[in-house]
């Protein structure tokens, strides 16, 4: 058997947020020089660092790129800034298939079922009624000239809940499991006791120094610990307090294992111990940040006790945060169960630059959108989108897809409104708790935001993982994707206890019509001769026998 | 006659103009009793907007009008209010004219019958005199123009008004005696919504009666004319459908329009019987009950035609009424169409049995529809059963109205042949029953 070289890197970034919360982002990257999709070569069977379950999925369904995320909670952009890797609440799955696939829908259906088994999630609820094919919003993040969006499928399940059941199989995909390295910190009782928890798997082919193609598997876990519920009031954070564990060793299979702490706002903000001489600077999300680096592959990091526990003690009050340049909100307006309006508000906080954003909305079929009521206003003036791709929904078959390219004026608020009507569904199509409402997935706002700081376009091996997730194509802008809130919409409900009664009553009314018409059509008018009473009839009968004349 | 008619027209125009300009127009065009997914103006505008975006209007499930409607509104969308104002007048003038045509025909028939001594002596009071029939066309016009249902339908810009105009034009051409125009217009009406197919039989019977061809299946003259008329009808239908295909370049409109009418996928509440029934239907039986309910509309044609083969005008009225009650997406505009013809049978008043009950039921239901809708959808204090109950009652009232008029008509015919004051065998006054 040929040894396939591969490498595994793990890192943890801790960023204290201005609101007093702590943002911890784990990233685990496995690189593997192999080709799952090449025909003619013998099937890949020797898996070392790359998980076998995912490798088999990739080759069986001819997947070019796979992105799946499970999120609990909503990322508050205005309070926390931009996340390293954005994700919408619930489950989100988008996949680029290889262009040799003939039946994309069949592959998609099987893929969702297989992933549902791998991640113990109910991804089997993804079907054609909530899958869309975005034409511009989800371009491939890895290699590939794929421009035909027939091979792209996007679906989101806003109602999906993330729990320990989903974390355990996710941890099992790591080469060291949860036994060594940074993954020992992932204890579910602490991770789910947070304001925001998101775990994701991103698989894509990348260019390995552009000599050969390699597969990259990134597993990311973002969590925001709430200052008030976890910190017990004291502004002091440590790894032990956050995760109830300390680090004892790096993963032996990892070529690099680092912990980064964002100290850009130091020393006024907090005090870090143990101190470290290693520093690193990186430009991420249009901002130059400085990080203290702890290298876990070096034994000195663990000190005498052979345990590494980071301690952050807050000193001063948090100052002003850099306002994120792009921010979006969404809400439903209107009253009653007949109509409504979806309002999406996008903020451009750049002081002098305007830039275009791509807004993608996927609305379920039972909210019938009226595209002629679409209005886009910026600074109370009409702002016509330059590109609109609209695919109307087909009842019970596919959802609405609306994609628009909107130019946002500098320092402004843009409002996109569209009216909809709520449909009455068949009684079997309602969820068991129909008055809870129906979820509408988050809108996706994708943009290349102009950067105040020059971004680096060179890709080096030593670059921290959190800054190399999204490929940077030009120096002056960086890619940002913002997800809005999912909506909860009530639909009118029929009375679920009534099927038999309704059938009987309606058929009764139809029968009344039928009966009257039948009577009038088949009978004729006759003079009503009353029949003689019984006694008289009996008497006549006897008289007839006797042969005597009958009574009148 | 001209002066009162003009006054009526002015009043009707004023009412509609006032309502068009007020804020009530928005409110009325959203009401489910007045518009349905098939004929809402909002959906027409949506279909045109989709066409502008380069997407076929039939690719979604929001637009269910025929391609000829797209063509019509593509050019007149800015003048839509005028189009919808004109169409009820169209219907109305036609109803007027056909009431007067009908009147002339009735007089002729009565004259012949009197001269041939076909009527028994005591039923002269049943005959209709020119004096009482003078104002019938005006009454028909009034019943249609000032009917609140028609006004609501017009202000909502529902395309039901246009469909009614085509049906009225068809009846007019039939009564005028032009088989060609009648066939073409019937094809157009069927193309718009399939149910006017049932009007083929009464039109055919009218023409046969007019041309003195006896309705005898063994006679070749009967088949000759029937085939001619059927050929005109089917031919025009094929031509119109072919034209629609060439307009948009695809057959998408057939499942979107006709498939939609027959399979009832959209369960938006309306004044009909279908929506709640199919919202609560067990999935297993859905196809069966769809077939039953759709056959229910069509299958009264043959028995009614056999019973009323000498009275094709009344048969047309009955068919229109049955279509309005039992169609898959009825609106008050459909109800207004057959109600407009009621004054033509005002002489039946003495034989109607339930007219007071029926009018009370219909008035009460019309008032309760918006109330219970508000309670269900906006206040949240009632549920869908309340609105459904009023729907049931409204349809029951309509069925009672139609069958009452049918009873009265048949009874009058019986009296015309057997005499008005009937006596039992022993000489006392008799009661008449259906046996």
pLDDT digits (tens, 9 = 90+) for B116-140: 666 776 667 777 777 777 788 888 8
Least confident of A54-63, A135-144, B200-209: A135-144
Q: Which residues in B lie closer than 8 A to residue A372 (C-beta atoms)?
A: 45-46, 48-49
Q: What is the DSSP string of A11-23?
A: EEEEEE-TTS-EE
Tell me: the pLDDT tens digits for A380-397? 899 999 999 999 999 999
Query: Residue B211's pLDDT band (boundaries 50, 70, 90)?
Result: confident
Q: Report the distance separating Cα A329 and Cα A343, nearest Å.
A: 8
Per-residue pLDDT, averaged over A130-158, amounts to 88
Asked if A428's CB is within 8 angstroms of B403's CB, the reply is no
Least confident of A221-235, A301-315, B32-46, B295-309: A221-235
Other beta carbons within 10 Å of B48: 18
Query: Terminus-to-terminus CA distance in chain A, angstroms?
Result: 117
Identify the pLDDT of residue B181: 94
Per-residue pLDDT, averaged over A129-133, amounts to 94
Per-residue pLDDT, averaged over A196-221, amounts to 86
Q: Report the distance separating Cα A258 and Cα A540, nearest Å.
A: 117
Identify the pLDDT of residue A408: 94
| Helical segments of A156-307, H only | 164-172, 188-191, 227-230, 239-243
Q: Give yes or no for a contact between A25 and A15, defined as CB atoms under 8 angstroms apart.
A: yes
Asked if A525's CB is within 8 angstroms of B46's CB, the reply is no
Find the helix or strand (DSSP H, E) in which A95 lies: strand A90-97
Among candidates B293, B384, B435 on the partner chain, residue whose Cβ is nearest the Cβ of A495: B384
Asked if B50's CB is within 8 angstroms of A371's CB, the reply is yes
Q: Which residue has the higher pLDDT, A228 or B156?
A: B156
Find the helix or strand (DSSP H, E) in which A113 lies: helix A104-118
ipTM of the complex: 0.92
Identify the pLDDT of residue A2: 43
Identify the pLDDT of residue A405: 96
Identify the pLDDT of residue A38: 60
State whether the Cα torsion B16-B20-B24-B27 is positive or negative: positive
Structure tokens at B33: 């009793």
Interface contact B255, partner A, CB < 8 A: no
Other beta carbons within 10 Å of A65: 24
Least confident of A240-244, A408-412, A420-424: A240-244
For residue A422, which of A487, A330, A506 has the smallest C-alpha distance? Answer: A487
Among candidates A365, A370, A390 on the partner chain, residue whose Cβ is nearest the Cβ of B55: A390
Nearest CA in chain A to B272: A506
Per-residue pLDDT, averaged over A282-290, amounts to 82
Q: Which residues in A lie closer than 8 A to residue B403 (C-beta atoms)?
A: 513, 516-517, 520
State whether the Cα torsion B171-B172-B177-B178 is positive or negative: negative
Q: Give yes or no for a contact between A62 and A100, defined as CB atoms under 8 angstroms apart.
A: yes
Task: State yes or no: pLDDT of A3 exceeds 50.
Answer: no
Q: Which domains does chain A have, with CATH numbers?
A: 7-314 (no CATH), 326-489 (2.60.40.740), 497-551 (no CATH)
Per-residue pLDDT, averaged over A399-413, amounts to 95
Q: Which residues in A lie closer than 8 A to residue B325 (C-beta atoms)?
A: 513
The proportion of chain B whose per-residue pLDDT surpasses 90, expressed as a percent, equals 56
Tell me: the pLDDT tens digits for B292-319? 999 999 999 999 999 998 899 899 999 9
Tell me: the pLDDT tens digits for A462-474? 678 887 888 777 7
What φ, ψ does residue A38 adopt, rounded to 5°?
A: -75, 130
The mean of the pLDDT values for chain B is 89
Query: Residue A299's pLDDT band (boundaries 50, 70, 90)?
Result: confident
Asked if B62's CB is within 8 angstroms of A424's CB, the reply is no
Q: Give yes or no for a contact between B40 and B26, defined as CB atoms under 8 angstroms apart.
A: no
Other beta carbons within 10 Å of A354: 14
Strand partners, A8: A30
Query: Which residues have CB under 8 Å from B155's CB, separation 6+?
Result: B16, B19, B20, B24, B25, B28, B29
Asked if A339's CB is within 8 angstroms of B433's CB, the reply is no
What separation in angstroms does the CA of B419 have from each of A233, A266, B198, B260, B422?
102, 111, 34, 50, 6
For residue A526, which of B109, B434, B422 has the smallest C-alpha distance? Answer: B434
Q: Give yes or no for a contact between A422 and B384, defined as CB atoms under 8 angstroms apart.
A: no
Query: Residue A497's pLDDT band (boundaries 50, 70, 90)?
Result: very high
Least confident of A223-227, B152-156, B370-374: A223-227
């Amino acid at each position: 058997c040929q040894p396939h070289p591969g490498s595994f890197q793990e890192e943890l970034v801790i960023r204290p947020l201005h609101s007093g919360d702590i943002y911890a982002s784990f990233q685990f990257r496995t690189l593997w020089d192999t080709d799952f999709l090449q025909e003619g070569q013998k099937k890949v069977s020797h898996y070392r660092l790359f998980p076998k379950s995912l490798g088999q999925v990739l080759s069986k369904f001819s997947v070019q790129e796979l992105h799946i995320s499970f999120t609990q909670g909503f990322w508050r952009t205005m309070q926390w800034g931009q996340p390293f890797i954005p994700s919408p609440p619930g489950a989100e799955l988008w996949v680029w298939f290889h262009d040799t696939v003939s039946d994309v829908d069949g592959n998609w259906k099987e893929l969702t079922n297989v992933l549902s088994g791998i991640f113990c999630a109910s991804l089997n609820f993804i079907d054609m009624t909530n899958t869309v094919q975005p034409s511009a919003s989800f371009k491939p993040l890895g290699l590939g000239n794929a421009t035909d969006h027939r091979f792209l499928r996007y679906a989101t399940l806003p109602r999906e809940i993330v729990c320990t059941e989903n974390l355990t199989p996710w941890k099992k995909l790591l080469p060291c499991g949860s036994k060594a390295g940074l993954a020992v910190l992932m204890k579910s009782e602490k991770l789910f006791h947070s304001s925001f928890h998101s775990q994701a798997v991103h698989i894509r082919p990348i260019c390995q120094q552009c000599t050969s193609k390699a597969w990259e598997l990134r597993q990311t876990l973002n969590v925001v610990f709430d200052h008030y519920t976890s910190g017990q009031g004291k502004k002091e954070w440590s790894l032990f307090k956050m995760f109830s564990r300390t680090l004892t060793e790096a993963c032996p299979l990892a070529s690099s294992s680092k912990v980064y702490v964002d100290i850009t706002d130091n020393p006024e903000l907090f005090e870090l111990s143990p101190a470290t001489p290693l520093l690193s600077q990186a430009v991420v999300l249009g901002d130059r940040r400085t990080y203290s680096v702890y290298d876990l592959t070096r034994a000195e990091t663990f000190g005498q006790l052979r345990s590494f526990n980071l301690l952050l003690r807050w000193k001063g009050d948090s100052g002003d945060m850099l306002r994120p340049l792009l921010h979006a909100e969404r809400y439903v307006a209107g009253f009653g169960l007949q109509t409504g309006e979806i309002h999406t508000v996008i903020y451009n906080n750049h002081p002098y630059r305007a830039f275009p954003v791509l807004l993608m909305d996927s609305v379920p079929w039972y909210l019938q959108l009226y595209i002629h009521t679409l209005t886009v206003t910026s600074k109370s003036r009409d702002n016509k989108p330059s590109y609109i791709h609209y695919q109307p929904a087909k009842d019970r078959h596919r959802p609405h897809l609306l994609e628009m390219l909107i130019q946002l004026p500098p320092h402004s608020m843009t409002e996109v409104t569209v009216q909809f009507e709520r449909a009455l569904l068949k009684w079997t199509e309602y969820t068991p708790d129909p008055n809870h409402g129906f979820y509408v997935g988050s809108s996706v706002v994708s943009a290349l935001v102009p950067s105040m700081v020059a971004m680096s376009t060179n890709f080096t091996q030593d670059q921290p993982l959190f800054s190399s997730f999204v490929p940077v194509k030009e120096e002056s802008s960086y890619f940002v994707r913002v997800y809005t809130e999912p909506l909860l919409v009530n639909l009118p409900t029929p009375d679920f206890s009534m099927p038999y009664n309704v059938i009987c009553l309606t058929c009764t009314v139809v029968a009344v019509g039928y009966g009257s018409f039948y009577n009038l059509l088949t009978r004729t008018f006759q003079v009503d001769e009353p029949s003689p009473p019984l006694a008289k009839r009996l008497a006549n009968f006897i008289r007839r026998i006797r042969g005597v004349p009958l009574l009148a | 006659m001209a002066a009162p008619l003009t006054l009526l027209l002015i009043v009707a125009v004023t009412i509609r103009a006032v309502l068009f300009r007020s804020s009530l127009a928005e409110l009325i065009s959203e009401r489910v009793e007045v518009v349905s997914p098939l004929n809402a103006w909002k959906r027409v505008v949506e279909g045109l907007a989709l066409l502008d975006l380069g997407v076929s209007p039939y690719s979604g499930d929001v637009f269910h009008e025929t391609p000829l409607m797209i063509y019509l509104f593509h050019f007149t969308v800015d003048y839509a209010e005028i189009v919808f104002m004109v169409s009820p007048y169209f219907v109305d003038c036609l109803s007027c004219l056909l009431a007067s045509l009908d009147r002339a025909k009735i007089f002729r028939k009565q004259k012949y019958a009197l001269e041939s001594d076909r009527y028994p002596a005591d039923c002269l009071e049943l005959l209709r005199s020119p004096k009482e029939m003078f104002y019938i066309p005006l009454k028909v016009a009034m019943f249609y123009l000032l009917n609140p249902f028609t006004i609501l339908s017009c202000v909502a810009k529902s395309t039901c008004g246009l469909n009614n105009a085509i049906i009225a034009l068809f009846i007019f051409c039939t009564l005028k005696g032009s088989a060609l125009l009648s066939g073409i217009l019937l094809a157009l009406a069927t193309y718009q919504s399939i149910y006017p197919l049932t009007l083929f039989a009464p039109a055919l019977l009218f023409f046969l009666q007019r041309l003195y061809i006896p309705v005898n299946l063994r006679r070749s003259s009967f088949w000759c004319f029937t085939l001619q008329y059927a050929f005109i009808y089917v031919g025009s239908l094929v031509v119109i459908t072919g034209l629609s295909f060439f307009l948009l370049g695809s057959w998408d409109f057939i499942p979107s329009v006709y498939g939609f009418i027959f399979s009832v996928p959209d369960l938006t509440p309306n004044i009909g019987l279908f929506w709640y029934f199919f919202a609560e239907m067990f999935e297993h039986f859905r196809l069966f009950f769809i077939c039953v309910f759709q056959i229910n509309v069509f299958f009264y044609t043959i028995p009614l035609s056999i019973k009323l083969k000498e009275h094709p005008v009344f048969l047309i009225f009955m068919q229109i009424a049955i279509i309005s009650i039992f169609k898959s997406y009825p609106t008050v505009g459909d109800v207004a169409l057959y109600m407009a013809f009621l004054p033509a049978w005002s002489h039946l008043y003495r034989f109607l049995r339930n007219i007071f009950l029926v009018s009370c039921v219909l008035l009460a239901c019309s008032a309760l529809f918006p109330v219970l809708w508000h309670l269900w959808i906006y206040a949240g204090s009632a549920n869908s059963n309340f609105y459904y109950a009023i729907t049931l009652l409204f349809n029951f009232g309509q069925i009672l109205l139609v069958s009452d008029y049918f009873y009265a008509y048949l009874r009058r015919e019986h009296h015309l042949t057997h005499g008005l004051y009937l006596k039992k065998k022993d000489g006392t006054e008799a009661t008449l029953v259906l046996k």
